[in-house]
Amino acid sequence: MARIEPPRTPNIPPHIFPLRTRQFRVPKSLSALRHRNYRLFIVGQLIATAGMWMQIIAQGWLVYEISGSELALGVVSSASAIPVLLISPWGGVIVDRVSKRHLLMITQSSSMLLAFILSALVFTDVVRVWHVVLLAVAMGVVSSFDGPARQAFVVEMVGHEDLPNAIALNSMTFNSGRIIGPAIGGVLLVTLGAAWCFFLNGLSIMAVLISLLNMNLPVSKRKRESRSARQQLTSGLAYVQHEPELRALLLMALVFSTFGTSYATILPAFVDKVLAQSASAYGTINAITGMGAVTAAFFIAQFGERIPRGRVLAGAILIFPVILVVFAYTQPYYLSLALAYGLGITFMLVFTLLNTLLQTNLRDELRGRVLSLYTLTFFGFAPFGNLLVGSLSEAIGISPTLVLSASVSFLLAALILVTTPGVRRLI
């Protein structure tokens, strides 16, 4: 009897991938996981994201504990975003020119080093607010390259067919870490102190480095680029300028990050002064927000191809500030948790759908440059919102500041949707 050879990997149906001698069917909501490289990537990201969220909540609480100032919280948040504002467009040019995997290994190693430095400063009890500010600036420089590289790298791991699903799973992973990280970080912050949160974040980044080293990527034949970096940057800007829907999506990212999500900057002070709660409650609110975000990300992963993405984006970006206004004057702790869950849902719908609609409506050769503009608008302009929220909250109070910020976010987002109706028709 002739020996029957098992089918080769390329002939495996779309949602089945081999593992040893068995085959596992992947649900459509997880279709990107049929790619081995992406499975490695997502595991590393989950571990590192949990560590990053531990550092975020510990850093916010540490700065507020040292300074007792909402403005100091705004300054630290702004410090990490200002380099993104200045460097990220050039970062996109670099992303389109070099190996994204090699660039990510450099940026992730740099992030690990910065986390260990902050940990050492706190362990030795010499940390000051200006130390945190300088390290935040350095982290902003790293993020200017890491952000667009990480996003542009996804299509190399999964291809165009599974790209929307991979973006949704990335968001789900990011916010799963947002649940795990604050939950662990809140306990560590109370029991062991902020230094251990920073140290464990540094260790968690090793998971990303290991995943990148173990990927099997095809050798890419890069087209030799004859244009200068400045010419490449100009071509990317011109491309976006002539695509009204892409331009509108980037403007929505700018408005949402500057006036919508800036509430997170003064969240430690909100928990302390408005809710009269401790550091553990701060971690819990972050975790509940993350649960809402995971819920939304799973919804997009499951039904993303069947929903009118543009219309859902339009609804979410207008509902988010309404919830934030109610949240601003909520004093009962458990009601604030419910509202935080709603903020997480609407935030993730906006965040994921902006990314998905951008990535599925741009040209591959310009991917790094366009995504660097997304990094610029979503993260680079945030310092202005963070500083404004931090200074206003000291001048007029925390709750009035949140209401004012949410109102501006609502009005500007509505204006963009009215002037560019094509956004609502995107799928």
Note the pLDDT tens digit of each residue in 368-405.
777 778 877 777 777 778 778 888 888 898 889 999 99
Close Cβ partners of 392 (under 8 Å, ≥ 6 residues apart): 400, 401, 404
Structure tokens at 225: 């680029």
User: Which of these, 60, 55, 77, lies nearest to 261 by C-alpha position?
Assistant: 77
How confident is the model at residue 72, as a pLDDT?
A: 81
Spell out the alpha helix ranges (H) of 124-162: 129-158
How far is the C-alpha of 178 from the C-alpha of 176, rounded, in Å?
A: 5
User: Which of these, 384, 351, 402, lies nearest to 167 by C-alpha position?
Assistant: 351
314 assigned to some structural domain: yes
Three-state secondary structure of 363-423: CHHHHHHHHHHHHHHHHHCHHHHHHHHHHHHHHHCHHHHHHHHHHHHHHHHHHHHHHCHHH
How far is the C-alpha of 311 from the C-alpha of 79, rounded, in Å?
A: 34
User: Which of these, 177, 155, 156, lies nearest to 164 by C-alpha position?
Assistant: 155
Contact assessment for residue 346 and residue 373, using Cβ atoms and an 8 Å cutoff: no
Burial class of residue 220, CB neighbours in 10 A (0-12, 13-18, 19+): exposed
Residue 25 has φ and ψ, to the nearest 5°, of -85, 130
How confident is the model at residue 11, as a pLDDT?
A: 44
How confident is the model at residue 226, as a pLDDT?
A: 53
Contact assessment for residue 288 and residue 342, using Cβ atoms and an 8 Å cutoff: no
Close Cβ partners of 197 (under 8 Å, ≥ 6 residues apart): 54, 55, 57, 58, 185, 188, 189
How far is the C-alpha of 30 from the C-alpha of 33, rounded, in Å?
A: 6
How far is the C-alpha of 5 from the C-alpha of 120, rounded, in Å?
A: 57
Q: Give the range of the structural domain holding residue 143, as residue numbers without chain letter.
A: 27-216+228-425
Structure tokens at 353: 């759908």
Burial class of residue 208, CB neighbours in 10 A (0-12, 13-18, 19+): buried
How far is the C-alpha of 115 from the C-alpha of 117, rounded, in Å?
A: 5
State the average pLDDT for the chain: 82
11 assigned to some structural domain: no
Q: In the chain, which residues have pLDDT < 50?
A: 1-24
14 assigned to some structural domain: no
36 assigned to some structural domain: yes
Count up the domains in the chain and report the number. Answer: 1
How confident is the model at residue 6, as a pLDDT?
A: 43
How far is the C-alpha of 275 from the C-alpha of 289, rounded, in Å?
A: 16
How far is the C-alpha of 19 from the C-alpha of 40, rounded, in Å?
A: 14
> What CATH number has the domain bearing residue 411?
1.20.1250.20
User: Which of these, 376, 50, 54, 312, lies nearest to 168 by C-alpha position?
Assistant: 312
194 assigned to some structural domain: yes
3 assigned to some structural domain: no
18 assigned to some structural domain: no
**Residue 159 region by backbone torsions, left for phi larger than 0, else alpha for psi between -120 and 50, else beta:** left
How confident is the model at residue 16, as a pLDDT?
A: 41
115 assigned to some structural domain: yes
Please, what sign has the CA dihedral across residues 283, 284, 289, 292?
positive
How confident is the model at residue 5, as a pLDDT?
A: 43
Structure tokens at 141: 């420089």
**pTM of the complete model:** 0.71
